[in-house]
Structure 1
Amino acid sequence: MSLRLAPRPRPVHTVSDVTVWTGAGWQAHVDVALADGVVDEVRDHTPASGPDGAGVLEDPGVLDGSGAYLIPGFANTHTHVQQSLCRGVGEGRPLLEWLLAVGESMNAVTPERAYVATAAAALEGLLSGATTLVEHMWPNPSAEVHDAVLAALDDVGVRAVLGRGVADRADPSRRWGFDPRLMQSLDSAFADVDRLRGASGERVTLGLAVPNPRSLTIPGMRAAAAFAAERDLTVMIHLSETGTDDAMCREHTGMSAIDYLAEGGLIGERLLAVHGVELDAAARRTLAAAGAAVSWNPVSNMRLGSGVAPVTELLAAGVAVGLGVDGAGSNDRQDMLETLRAGAYVQRAHARRADLFDTAAMLAIACDGAARALGQPDPAAPGGVAPGRLADLTLLRFERDFACLPVSDPGASLLTCGTPRIVDTVLVGGEVVVADGRSTRIDVEALTRALLAAGGPQRVPEKAGTLK
């Protein structure tokens, strides 16, 4: 199936007379020139005029930014797009019980459901300014399911890192291994990654998605690390969301979770460790020394009662930190603006300090914090619009939401009041994929009908114990 609208929108070559976030502050009345999908120049605004000072015909390649604010698009460094069809599943249950409940939905996935779920999650993210998503797929032997996810990402127009799930230790309880119903041999999974790499468009890159340290044997980790290194792929893994990873690794191997990963050769600068709530000082030092990054998922961690990630300590140790929403099964919404605000607030509350994680710090984390792990160059101006960065940009208009008015400080308004309603226009590679707060690529009415048809009660398995 496809929900794609036609024709494809024309690209923008200039955002005119806009106020730009530079990474350190706001610069008013500038023109942002785009070329070949990249920011080419940020210059003082020059009003358009004809040879005698008369007005000129409207240029469809010029986006009027007057009265608006331009920021880089967010990079949602962790989600599970298929969970957009299982919102509320396992609500109020501990992590492992929740995983088993969501696992039933993952086992029931079909290509049609995968397409609808992916389109919904990717578009919801775009409407909150997330131009890049990092999809952590659960292992699944179906090539058709992966093709459907790839098709939906392409139809929505978002930039993505598609983590193809891999595991080689089976355990129905999910304590020391992964759900055997969704597993296949590593060789088959790796071959499918290569197939998907050949089928993906210019906006989607592939990676490896490891459910957690318990899901791969040491030989399996070494094989995955070698495969990823040969192809320069991101490896993403849920790590230390609760104490389960350390407890299980110590019980079965005599090593901590971080030492177990090191033994398997997975720790490097293309590693994206997700959650990290229970990362101790030794683990933080190991990740920092290897140049690895952590995906911080504050709303999901609160929703599941996992705790508060030690973000201040991670940054102080030199660990790169990006911001993630997580799947709709544990966050319910793919709203990066909500996550931006909640992340800042929970860290301030935890530290009992209001002067932490201001707009500049949060935008640097949310836009560029995990850039290196995702295979992107370190930005010259983290979190800011500057020449050389991808033309993945979000135009904000605070007047679209009266609850954001009046604006005394645009950065404060963005961080403390921002909702998807203020997202007016979103560019990916210079193409307008959201205009006037609405997708230019997806038939939203048809998507809504498909989501309604996909609803229904979910079977929740019996409690699986209290191990977290």
Structure 2
Amino acid sequence: MHVDAVTNTTVWSGGQWLPGRDVLLARGRVAAVVPAGTVPHTPGAALLDGSGAHLIPGLVNTHTHLHQARMRGIGEGQPLLSWLRLVGEETVALTPEQAYAAAAAAATEALRSGTTTLVEHMWPHPSAEVHDAVLRALRDAGIRAVLCRGVADRPDVSRRWGFDPRLMQPLEETLEHAGALAAAMRGSRVSPGLAVPNPRCLTQDGMRRVRSWAEERGLPVSIHLLETDTDEVMCRQHAGTGAVDYLAEAGFLWERLLAVHCVTLDARGQALLARHRVAVSYNPLSNMRLGSGIAPVPAMLAAGLRVGIGVDGAASNDTQDILEALRIGAYLQRAAHRQADLLGFGRMIDIGSNGANAALGLEECPHGVVPGVRADLVLHRFERDFATLPVRDPGATLLTCAGTRTVDTVLIDGEAVLRDGRSLRLNEAALAAALV
């Protein structure tokens, strides 16, 4: 169902809450935000009653691995590299049917927490059918997505690089398939990109080829960077230079690169990434679960880096709840810096809805729900969960205690894809059965 207006709601717009507003939609965008009842609605218009509810821009999950919806709880208590071995084994064995069920379920779970766009960082995989299944699942779920196809060109039988060699393909073959996959996305809400497991998985020549291929097509590239000190140690051992310098020497720092994690990124590295307009995906829950550390987000922001929020895959985070990631992402920094007012709602909603959009080729929406932006919107009803009541400040409520329980309706391009917390596109019971 396409919605023509959200009526009589309280909306986050221009950095403030505006109560009693009608949000008019047309051709998948916000046409106007006006006082409720001031503009007559066309007879037969599809109206979404927002009375008593709060409307915010959709949130962008800048990093996940959808296939890990089949791997919850794997490697609990193990550090990154040994955990990666277990994930690699299951990824090698992944079938198209399993990939579809995992991607569809993870996308639906993401929608339930108000994610309207997700960035899928696919592991390299030789099966075209697995990629086709993921793309089909994203289309069926109705979510907006950037589907980044995995690439690598450095084989390593020891697997100390954190990448299973059984998933390796020749780089030219991989890029050819990425092109075919991009063509299959045309006309959908899914856009293409490339995904690099980590700096150790591409030679410098490979990096130059990957950047050139992406730049020619205007595509983003996502790369795990400095999730732990492994990248730094192994780049120094094998290339005689640190991880950020290794990327810089290959010309692999530019404005369409998304650096994921950056837990051990020092001040010099922050300045270098900022100078090249690289964006960062902050994944607090995954970094906590794997004992990786705390990304220096306030320092990154002060250095001028663009920072978005990432939920990461269910094998390292366990859920796809972006509101939980926003909340814990703020709390973690407050604890580390002993500063209670650090990263409040205004800053976190911008990180969550707009932080890395430019790098990803997504439209920017720095002012919330305003005329002209895409109608990717989330309607919260706090009365659905008494644990959010009373509402003294809607922003504080959203940051500190809202979640999947309060998400009522999710619109993408003005289409309701989730209503009353349930998918309007997919059979959720069938998805649950496919994951058991």
* TM-score, length-scaled by structure 1: 0.91
1:177-211 deviation line (CA, Å, top 9, x unaligned): 73210010111111111111111142000100000
- Verify the 8 A CA contact 1:228 1:234 in the aligned structure 2: yes
- Verify the 8 A CA contact 1:427 1:434 in the aligned structure 2: yes
Residue in structure 2 matched with residue 348 of structure 1 by the alignment: 334
2:129 is the alignment partner of 1:144: yes
How far, CA to CA, are the matches of 2:289 and 2:39 in structure 1? Answer: 50
- Verify the 8 A CA contact 2:350 2:366 in the aligned structure 1: no
Cα distance change of structure 1 residues 385 and 14 upon mapping to structure 2, 3 Å threshold: same
How far, CA to CA, are the matches of 1:292 and 1:366 in structure 2? Answer: 17
Matches within 5 A, 1:153-232: 153-176=138-161, 178-200=163-185, 201-232=187-218
Residue in structure 1 matched with residue 119 of structure 2 by the alignment: 134
SS in 1 for 2:416: strand
- Verify the 8 A CA contact 1:163 1:209 in the aligned structure 2: yes
- Verify the 8 A CA contact 2:139 2:188 in the aligned structure 1: no
Residue in structure 1 matched with residue 308 of structure 2 by the alignment: 322
Matches within 5 A, 1:365-380: 365-380=351-366
How far, CA to CA, are the matches of 2:370 and 2:419 in structure 1? Answer: 22
Cα distance change of structure 1 residues 172 and 39 upon mapping to structure 2, 3 Å threshold: farther
Cα distance change of structure 1 residues 48 and 330 upon mapping to structure 2, 3 Å threshold: same
2:370 is aligned, of 364, 379, 386, to 386
2:410 is aligned, of 426, 432, 435, to 426
Residue in structure 1 matched with residue 419 of structure 2 by the alignment: 435
What letter matches 2:31 in structure 1? D
Question: What is the CA-CA distance between 1:23 and the residue it aligns to?
Answer: 4.5
Q: Could you list the runs of 4 or more consecutive aligned residues of structure 1 that deviate by over 4 angstroms after TM superposition?
A: 47-50
How far, CA to CA, are the matches of 2:377 and 2:113 in structure 1? Answer: 12
1:46-83 deviation line (CA, Å, top 9, x unaligned): 16779xxxxx97x4521111111000110000000000
Residue in structure 2 matched with residue 363 of structure 1 by the alignment: 349
Residue in structure 2 matched with residue 26 of structure 1 by the alignment: 17
How far, CA to CA, are the matches of 1:380 and 1:218 in structure 2? Answer: 35
Residue in structure 2 matched with residue 284 of structure 1 by the alignment: 270
Residue in structure 2 matched with residue 259 of structure 1 by the alignment: 245
SS in 1 for 2:8: strand
Question: What is the CA-CA distance between 1:138 and the residue it aligns to?
Answer: 0.3
SS in 2 for 1:207: strand
Question: What is the CA-CA distance between 1:380 and the residue it aligns to?
Answer: 4.5
- Verify the 8 A CA contact 1:167 1:178 in the aligned structure 2: no
How far, CA to CA, are the matches of 2:400 and 2:162 in structure 1? Answer: 41
Residue in structure 1 matched with residue 258 of structure 2 by the alignment: 272
How far, CA to CA, are the matches of 2:22 and 2:176 in structure 1? Answer: 46
1:156-191 deviation line (CA, Å, top 9, x unaligned): 000000010000001133334732100101111111
Residue in structure 2 matched with residue 335 of structure 1 by the alignment: 321
Question: What is the CA-CA distance between 1:451 and the residue it aligns to?
Answer: 1.2
Residue in structure 2 matched with residue 5 of structure 1 by the alignment: none
Matches within 5 A, 1:77-92: 77-92=62-77
Cα distance change of structure 1 residues 251 and 31 upon mapping to structure 2, 3 Å threshold: same
- Verify the 8 A CA contact 1:175 1:248 in the aligned structure 2: no
Residue in structure 2 matched with residue 397 of structure 1 by the alignment: 381
2:107 is the alignment partner of 1:122: yes
- Verify the 8 A CA contact 1:240 1:246 in the aligned structure 2: yes
Residue in structure 2 matched with residue 461 of structure 1 by the alignment: none
SS in 1 for 2:138: helix
2:68 is the alignment partner of 1:100: no
2:392 is the alignment partner of 1:408: yes
- Verify the 8 A CA contact 1:372 1:378 in the aligned structure 2: yes
SS in 2 for 1:251: helix
Residue in structure 2 matched with residue 462 of structure 1 by the alignment: none
How far, CA to CA, are the matches of 1:243 and 1:232 in structure 2? Answer: 31
1:123-169 deviation line (CA, Å, top 9, x unaligned): 00000000000000000011000000000000000000001000000
Residue in structure 2 matched with residue 293 of structure 1 by the alignment: 279
Q: Which runs of 5+ in 2 are unaligned?
A: none
* TM-score, length-scaled by structure 2: 0.97
Percent identity, aligned pairs only, is: 59
Structure 1 window deviating more from structure 2 (278-287 vs 197-206): it is 197-206
- Verify the 8 A CA contact 2:377 2:410 in the aligned structure 1: yes
- Verify the 8 A CA contact 1:17 1:31 in the aligned structure 2: yes
2:2 is the alignment partner of 1:14: no
How far, CA to CA, are the matches of 1:28 and 1:87 in structure 2? Answer: 40
Question: What is the CA-CA distance between 1:389 and the residue it aligns to?
Answer: 1.5
- Verify the 8 A CA contact 1:272 1:292 in the aligned structure 2: yes
Question: What is the CA-CA distance between 1:378 and the residue it aligns to?
Answer: 3.5
Cα distance change of structure 1 residues 359 and 23 upon mapping to structure 2, 3 Å threshold: farther
Residue in structure 2 matched with residue 456 of structure 1 by the alignment: none
RMSD in angstroms over aligned alpha carbons?
1.4
How far, CA to CA, are the matches of 2:2 and 2:139 in structure 1? Answer: 16
- Verify the 8 A CA contact 2:353 2:365 in the aligned structure 1: no
How far, CA to CA, are the matches of 2:28 and 2:406 in structure 1? Answer: 24
What letter matches 2:386 in structure 1? F
- Verify the 8 A CA contact 1:208 1:235 in the aligned structure 2: yes
Residue in structure 2 matched with residue 62 of structure 1 by the alignment: 47
Q: Which runs of 5+ in 1 are unaligned?
A: 1-9, 51-55, 453-468
1:365-392 deviation line (CA, Å, top 9, x unaligned): 00000011111244341xx111222111
What letter matches 1:45 in structure 2? A
How far, CA to CA, are the matches of 2:313 and 2:32 in structure 1? Answer: 36
